Amino acid sequence: MASRTSSPLIHPDVDDLDLFKIMSALTDETRLTIVVTLSVSPGLACSGFTQDVTASVLTRHFRVLREAGLIRQHDIGTRRINTLRKEELDQRFPGLLDLVLKESVGRVKPYVNDECA
Amino acid sequence: MASRTSSPLIHPDVDDLDLFKIMSALTDETRLTIVVTLSVSPGLACSGFTQDVTASVLTRHFRVLREAGLIRQHDIGTRRINTLRKEELDQRFPGLLDLVLKESVGRVKPYVNDECA
């Protein structure tokens, strides 16, 4: 099956992960919600991830997260699968992601949508 | 001696420190430079902290850092003394500040000015 896009999806290597880029990415509530959701629903693929923003805005948020090294994206047919790079993040910045997830409680909730695959 | 300002300097309690407010504060290079400088020069008071920004901009950066709980400010006469809230930050978010300081190496340098007290 043809891939969703012909342009390659760029992911930073674990050694190139930038703490400040990661922190900047996490200061946005929509992006934080995506990260929290992926922490409980690995491999989520859903164009209607949240109802509060347009598809193009959502695409930009996913790109920021990918370029910061927080998530990995790969295409299966027309679906773009998103996973949290938890092991690599834990390796590079031990404790950071757990701290972020802990502190996100009460601030954002994982997105739940029965239509999500 | 009269204090520098009649308006009280508000500092969040350690239990109210907000990880995301702290991360947001640290995504600015001038503010990161201030934090790195205060980590090696505690109690720094200097109106000419950096030469790259105006005094009013610098005042705003210090306020953002204070309101995020990263620094404590107090006035002695006409001088405003700045200190990093390292112990409280270490208590609330263990390892975070050390990680920030470690990752700031090569990105920003502590500001050095012989006129600083």
Q: What is the CA radius of gyration of chain B?
A: 14
Kindly list the residues from chain B whose CB atom is less than 8 angstroms away from the CB atom of residue A94.
Answer: 95
**A117 burial class (0-12, 13-18, 19+ CB within 10 angstroms)?**
exposed
Q: How many residues does chain A have?
A: 117
**ipTM for the whole complex:** 0.86
Kindly list the residues from chain A whose CB atom is less than 8 angstroms away from the CB atom of residue B95.
Answer: 94-95
What SS3 class is residue A76?
Answer: strand
Opening angle at CA B55, ends B53 and B61, nearest 5? 70
Tens digits of per-residue pLDDT, A67-104? 999 999 988 888 888 999 999 999 999 999 999 999 99
Distance from the Cα of A17 to chain B's closest Cα (Å) equals: 10
Could you tell me the two tokens for A23? 């922190």
Where residue A1 falls among pLDDT bands split at 50, 70, 90? very low
Tens digits of per-residue pLDDT, A3-29? 455 578 999 999 999 999 999 999 999
Q: For position B61, what pLDDT does the model report? A: 94
Tens digits of per-residue pLDDT, B67-112? 999 999 989 888 888 999 999 999 999 999 999 999 999 999 888 7
Residue among A14, A15, A20 with most chain B CBs within 10 A, to mutate: A20
**B50 burial class (0-12, 13-18, 19+ CB within 10 angstroms)?**
middle
Prediction pTM value: 0.87
How much of chain B, in percent, has pLDDT values that exceed 70? Answer: 85
Where residue A42 falls among pLDDT bands split at 50, 70, 90? confident
DSSP letter for A44, please: B
Q: For position B76, what pLDDT does the model report? A: 86
Where residue A2 falls among pLDDT bands split at 50, 70, 90? very low
